[in-house]
Chains A and B, each alone.
Chain A
Amino acid sequence: MNIHTYEKFWLGASMVLIVGFILTITYGSVGLGIAMVDDSEPTINPENVGDHPDFGDPGVEQVGENEYVVHVVAVQFAYFPGEIEVPADSTVTFKLTSEDVIHSFSVVGTNANTMIIPGEIASVTVEADEPGEYGIVCSEYCGSGHHDMEGKLTVVPQDEFELEGDE
């Protein structure tokens, strides 16, 4: 088969592009540590989320030197807690579940975004590096008050951070 030089160039360039895409994604997951939300968490009975040892008293909890876990319960049409405060330069894991219908936990303008499915626990780990304020919205239509379902995530400088009940 006689393939023209320019055509060979274009075929080669296409291959380079595909390999480049794969390398970028590999670098993203290995180098940058970007991960997907998976189903590694256990299930939960949505009928009595309140009896669950962690979701019965949702909120911010310190689990390591700079590691925090935030349990959040989503219901029509609010998050509990609605306002979350975490310190900067920390690793924050959100554990999310729903008591009624499918909601979502979408930190606006960021890549932190997951569905919250009743009976399931969604786990999202992020690095909170810089202080800042983020809106949290539900991006899964969950009923008539869907548009009012919102929360707030505030990343405060480390020296200003206080865990609830530590005052």
Chain B
Amino acid sequence: MSSELEREIGHDEFDPVGTLGLITIYFLILVVLWIFMYFVEFAGGDLTVVGVVV
């Protein structure tokens, strides 16, 4: 098998930039959706139950 290897790279030389790009986009989508859900859909939905947190 090893004779068929085209190129051997070390642990830190493996750079899946496509995967990095995907998880970055995924992360940004999560952040935007959270902000939208909490601040626009929830906190913007007056009347909101208010009170003092005991």
Residues on A lying within 8 angstroms of B by beta carbon are 2, 4-6, 9-10, 13, 17, 20-21, 24, 28-30, 32-38, 40, 91, 107, 109-112, 114, 124-130, 134
Residues of the A chain whose Cβ atoms lie less than 8 Å from the Cβ of B51: 33, 35, 125
Whether the pair B46, A127 counts as a contact (CB closer than 8 A) is yes
Chain B interface, number of residues (Cβ within 8 angstroms): 25
- B23 proximal to A (CB < 8 A): yes
A42 to B46, CA, bound (A): 27
In the complex, residue of chain A having the shortest beta-carbon distance to the beta carbon of B41: A111
Residues of the A chain whose Cβ atoms lie less than 8 Å from the Cβ of B38: 24, 28
Whether the pair A35, B49 counts as a contact (CB closer than 8 A) is yes
- B6 proximal to A (CB < 8 A): no
Whether the pair A112, B49 counts as a contact (CB closer than 8 A) is yes
Which secondary structure dominates where chain A touches chain B?
A: mixed
Interface positions of B from 1 to 54, Cβ below 8 Å from A: 11-12, 14-16, 19-20, 23, 27, 30-31, 34, 38, 42-43, 45-54
Residues of the A chain whose Cβ atoms lie less than 8 Å from the Cβ of B49: 34-37, 111-112, 114, 124-126
Residues of the B chain whose Cβ atoms lie less than 8 Å from the Cβ of A114: 49
Residues of the B chain whose Cβ atoms lie less than 8 Å from the Cβ of A21: 34
Whether the pair B30, A17 counts as a contact (CB closer than 8 A) is yes
A124 to B51, CA, bound (A): 9
Shortest Cβ gap from A52 to chain B (Å)? 23
Whether the pair B12, A4 counts as a contact (CB closer than 8 A) is yes
Shortest Cβ gap from B26 to chain A (Å)? 9
Residues of the B chain whose Cβ atoms lie less than 8 Å from the Cβ of A29: 53
Whether the pair B34, A111 counts as a contact (CB closer than 8 A) is no
